[in-house]
Chain A
Amino acid sequence: MLVTQEFTIKVDGNTILNDLTLEYGPGVHIIMGPNGVGKSTFAHALMGNPNYETEGAVEFNGKDLLSMETYERARAGLFISFQTPTPIEGLSNFQFIKQAMTSLEKNQSIKENLSNFRESANDLGLGSEWDKKTLNVEASGGEKKKNELIQLDMLDPQTAILDEPDSGLDIDAIKVLVEKLRAFVNKGDKTLIIVSHYAELITKLNPDTLTILDKQGNAKQTEDIQIAYDILENGFNG
């Protein structure tokens, strides 16, 4: 369960999002909003990105999230997929996931890890040598997004915040994405928070709540998912 209480996010002293009081329990939650309102900022502020100043309170499974360092938040079960995943020269995809698995104390043998990695990569249509490719360097935009999904698959967090996971994916990959996200949620006691404006994704995931961020930096959370479709049809001003 992720609960924010009067959560405010600032950058260089400028308020981006203001007094957000939101609740994300097990299930699927959608976040929508016009470009530039701070959807990614919200996600990364929860993850503890040092570029953001925060006020208020955020509780994650009963613990004070804001008192934790970023790596501690990840170890507590929080995951964020990046809209533009960071490339790191000299680090292979598999080396990265292997180290992450170790840090999160997901005790698997290297052989098992590699096998699972390759299976996940194969499901997403990535080549057989994907484990050897350099992390987010030798990759198209869509492939980088797929890489994030492999990490979600393997790290299996308790709460995942996915920032536009559908962007850059082709139709076949979207199908796999939906399958993987459904499988994730169906494990039970998982929270999935998705920033998306993709109707098909919203329909297929059947979300429990919708959060709308506006240009004034405010947020409204509702269980009325029909609002999402109204926005998709008429726009945010409609």
Chain B
Amino acid sequence: MAELEYNLKELRNFFDSGIRFNNLMNESSPMHDVAKECYASLLKQNPIDNKFYKNMQLNTLNNHLNLGKVNSTGNVSKHVDDDYDILIDDGLISINPDSRYNYIEMRSGLKPKNIKELNLLSVDKRNNGLNLYQPYLKPTGRLSDIAVIHSLNPVGYKISPDTDLESSILYADKFADEDLSCNLVIVDIGARSNVNISEFIQSKNGTKIIKVLYLIRDNATLTIDRSFDLDNKDDSLCILESNFVQFPGSTLNVQTQSEGNKYNQDLMFIDVYKDCNTDIKGCHYLYENNKNNCVVNVHHKGPNSTSKVDVRSVLEDNAFSSFLGEIKVDKIAEGVDADLTNKNLLCSSKATAFTEPQLDINTKEITCSHGCTISNIDKEHLYYLNSRGIDNVAGGDMIKQCFLTQ
């Protein structure tokens, strides 16, 4: 088996080389057409050179060498992840046999209960409809296009309308190799459903690109509690791009927390139509050499919606954080109330934080506010705590905790 070392910039030379039977190579893939479009776009401009990433220290990502094995059989780890309902990796999606969505009947080959409520989307199912999602996955010029091109297959899950459901999702490292991992995932939340999802992004020894498309249908509510693996951070590079489409009347709540890793991107692009509510919260505690890059882009395309973005980071040691917050309001999106906040607490002289708000407002009939700050621990706060017997270590911890959770 031949081995191939490459960085992300070089990858575009190998997409059609047979290194992997990806969506681009696989003419039967439901994503083949959009993979070709993304590939054509990528040939024109390498996403590594996209100015979008100007403050995101992309060198760390690009300097990493991925180790691919040509003609690899792709051994899948047999470790069973007990704590999750659904497990996802490149081209793989499965329900935990012990999950509430699977019963004893599944082991004996019968259909699982609640099949109507939650349907897995994968290419081995007939009429999966995955190709119908292609219009949402057009080229962006960003690294997530690589997931469209280079994943083995798209996977996902669809929630039926009028469903109340809770589920836990593991974005796993089942292949446990050092090659680039690409995940293309579709999440389709049915109208009037109320869905709570906890997502856990497992670290990989290497680079993982995950692109997730969430469609939140009319009057549905999606609540996501997302956390990143605290183990194996030193070797893990992760690009997670979430694209949300909020249909009219829908609600999106996202809470994301991490300690960063060798290189992390947690990017969210949200299209908001009329009468929607959007609440995005991020808490990141970064230390040592950990890096974390956040983007929250809220595009109000319809009237009378509200959005609130609040992302906070505490940085110690040599940690690095960047935040790009964008609010765009179309001309027809009157009555929108949008708020964007990013706060960064630097606890070390060697820590670095970038914060950049961008507003693109095309109507006067809205309320829009933003506040992006970088600060140090307030000495007056520490003195007040000290005056009550709380020492600098405990006091500093309290201040950091309050900063993240206020």
List residues of A whose CB falls within 8 A of some B CB: 47-50, 69-71, 74-75, 79-80, 82, 85-86, 88-91, 96, 99-100, 103-104, 134, 151, 155
Q: Besides A90-B405, A99-B394, 18 other CB < 8 A contacts?
A: A69-B391, A71-B385, A71-B388, A71-B389, A71-B391, A71-B395, A74-B386, A88-B384, A89-B402, A89-B406, A91-B398, A91-B402, A99-B398, A100-B388, A103-B388, A104-B389, A151-B388, A155-B389
The yes or no answer to B390 lying at the interface (CB within 8 A) is yes
Residues A90 and B380 in contact in the complex (CB < 8 Å), given A47-B387, A71-B391? no
Interface string of B363-406 (1 = CB under 8 A from A): 00000000000000001110111111111101100110111111
> For A74, what are the chain B residues with a Cβ–Cβ distance below 8 Å?
386-389
Q: Which residue of B lies closest to A74 (CB)?
A: B389
> For B383, what are the chain A residues with a Cβ–Cβ distance below 8 Å?
49-50, 70, 86
Q: Which residue of B lies closest to A86 (CB)?
A: B384
Question: Distance in Å from the Cβ of A43 to the closest Cβ of chain B?
Answer: 10
Interchain CB contact under 8 A, B403 and A90:
yes
> For A103, what are the chain B residues with a Cβ–Cβ distance below 8 Å?
388-391, 394
Docked pose: A88 CA to B381 CA in angstroms: 7
Residues A100 and B406 in contact in the complex (CB < 8 Å), given A82-B384, A88-B381, A88-B384? no
Most buried by B among A69, A80, A103: A103
> For A99, what are the chain B residues with a Cβ–Cβ distance below 8 Å?
385, 388, 390, 394, 398
Most buried by A among B381, B383, B392: B383
Docked pose: A90 CA to B399 CA in angstroms: 8
Give which listed residue, A47, A48, A71, A155, contacts B392 with CB less than 8 A. A71
Interchain CB contact under 8 A, B379 and A50:
yes
Give which listed residue, B384, B394, B403, contacts A85 with CB less than 8 A. B384
Residues A86 and B380 in contact in the complex (CB < 8 Å), given A99-B394, A99-B398? yes
> For A80, what are the chain B residues with a Cβ–Cβ distance below 8 Å?
387
> For B380, what are the chain A residues with a Cβ–Cβ distance below 8 Å?
86
Q: Which residue of B lies closest to A81 (CB)?
A: B387
Docked pose: A59 CA to B402 CA in angstroms: 36
Pairs A–B under 8 Å by Cβ, sample size 15? A71-B386, A71-B387, A71-B390, A71-B392, A74-B386, A74-B388, A85-B384, A86-B383, A89-B402, A90-B404, A90-B406, A99-B388, A100-B388, A103-B394, A151-B388
Docked pose: A49 CA to B379 CA in angstroms: 10
Question: Distance in Å from the Cβ of B165 to the closest Cβ of chain A?
Answer: 32
> For B392, what are the chain A residues with a Cβ–Cβ distance below 8 Å?
71
Docked pose: A74 CA to B398 CA in angstroms: 18
Most buried by B among A47, A85, A96, A151: A96
Interchain CB contact under 8 A, B388 and A96:
yes
> For B403, what are the chain A residues with a Cβ–Cβ distance below 8 Å?
89-90
